[in-house]
Amino acid sequence: MGFWVECILFALLSLALQYVGGCDFFRGKWVPESDPSSYPVYNSATCPFIEREFNCEKNGRPDRNYLTYTWQPHDCNLARFDGEDLLRRLRGKKIMFVGDSLSRNQWQSLTCLLSTSVPNANYTIDRVDDVSTFTFMDSGVKVMLDRNVYLVDVVRENIGRVLKLDSIQSGKLWKGIDMLIFNTWHWWNRRGAAQPWDYIQVGNKTYKDMDRMAAFRMALTTWGGWVDSNIDPSKTMVFFQGISPSHYNGTDWNEPTAKTCQGQHQPLLGSTYPGGLPPAVAVLKAALSKIKKPITLLDITNLSLLRKDGHPSIYGLGGRTGMDCSHWCLPGVPDTWNQILYNIILNNKAMHS
């Protein structure tokens, strides 16, 4: 397909996605929370299962300003996240996040938001292979996480580990789920010891390596084919989490002396990010535009780009020796992703039945 045709499809798709309930939740700015006493809605004491990786406050992060911002869309107000209401709407249903550790970040945020909204909520957390399940016993809601960094398969064969861009066997785990929220991106640029495959296979051809953006595009096409042939939109809502940005280069936010996100204590105010969008966003949107079944993009890139202050930096898994400007502190930015997810559900007629 020609470049311009892709651009036009992309523009049409963006238009279609913009008007979720007449308002684009993803266009806006960060503003100080009007009622700081009610924020954040959870912490590591009220949500005791936050993993160390995201638990910035417990890991010693001293500043708290980053906890006091709320996302304000330009054209409407977001409803506050109401966990009790959401559990009622989702009674007996299964929600599954599928993706890498950014999915885990959002999954954990949602389980914290929901469990702290119900006093004395009874829940269980269990894990079978790559699937973690958080069950709210009283409403029968299951919030699940399938760790799957590429969505397409990595298979161990005689020659080594093969990343198969047109094979998606793990799709069998996603059947019968009421709401699916996919994500993949952060692992596509991994190289050396951090790269969990030795070859890439497309059709009958095997390669030692290839253009990573092209590989990402092919995998998304395979995944889109899975959605088109397996999803019944009357039963399952499908979301894509969107590209979650990292902050390792201060030039991108007009602070060239900053080599990482360490020491960033406040968001960019306003709505534009000087460094622009990561190129993966356009590839993702073009791939989504070719899928026939309805998919909602959680277009979280812009709002998250503005949050150079939201990452763990040295208050994450690696502590002082690590530098995490990819994941997000919890409580933090993924709570806003989930607040928007909640608002989309509120606007979706099918979910009211």
Ligand X SMILES: *[C@@H]1O[C@H](CO)[C@@H](O)[C@H](O)[C@H]1NC(C)=O
Stretch 42-71: interaction string toward ligand X, x if CB under 6 A: ------------------------------
In the complex, the smallest distance separating the C-beta of residue 17 from ligand X, rounded to whole angstroms, is 9
List 46, 169, 189, 251, residue binding ligand X (CB under 6 A): 251
Residue 31 in contact with residue 307, Cβ under 8 Å? Answer: no
CB proximity list for 331: less than 8 A, separation 6 or greater: 40, 41, 42, 43, 67, 109, 112
Residues 315, 329: Cα–Cα separation, whole Å:
9
Buried b (16+ CB within 10 A) or exposed e, 311-338: bbbbbbeeeeeebbbbbbbbbbbbbbbb
List 34, 38, 158, 204, residue binding ligand X (CB under 6 A): 204
Across the strands, what pairs with 73? 28
Nearer to ligand X, 26 or 342 (CB): 26
The one catalytic residue in 44, 101, 289, 304 is 101
Question: Binding of ligand X at residue 344 (CB under 6 A)?
Answer: no
Nearer to ligand X, 68 or 275 (CB): 275
In the complex, the smallest distance separating the C-beta of residue 73 from ligand X, rounded to whole angstroms, is 10
Question: Binding of ligand X at residue 189 (CB under 6 A)?
Answer: no
The one catalytic residue in 24, 153, 309, 324 is 324
Can 34 be counted among the known catalytic residues?
A: no
Amino acid at 313: S
Nearer to ligand X, 56 or 297 (CB): 297
Can 247 be counted among the known catalytic residues?
A: no
Size of the site for ligand X (CB under 6 A): 16
Select from 88-96, 108-116, 238-246, 271-279 the region that touches ligand X (CB under 6 A): 271-279
Give the footprint of ligand X on residues 112-131 (CB under 6 A): 118, 120-122
Amino acid at 248: Y
Q: What is the 3-state secondary structure (H, E, C) of 143-177?
A: EEEEECCCCCEEEEECCEEEEECCCCHHHHHHCCC
Residue 97 in contact with residue 146, Cβ under 8 Å? Answer: yes
Can 304 be counted among the known catalytic residues?
A: no
The one catalytic residue in 186, 247, 311, 327 is 327
Smallest CA-to-CA distance from 326 within 174, 100, 97 is with 100
Buried b (16+ CB within 10 A) or exposed e, 178-199: bbbbbbbbbbbeeeeeeeebbe
Residues within the interface to ligand X (CB under 6 A) = 26-27, 118, 120-122, 138, 203-204, 249, 251, 272, 276-277, 299, 302
Q: Catalytic positions, please?
A: 101, 324, 327
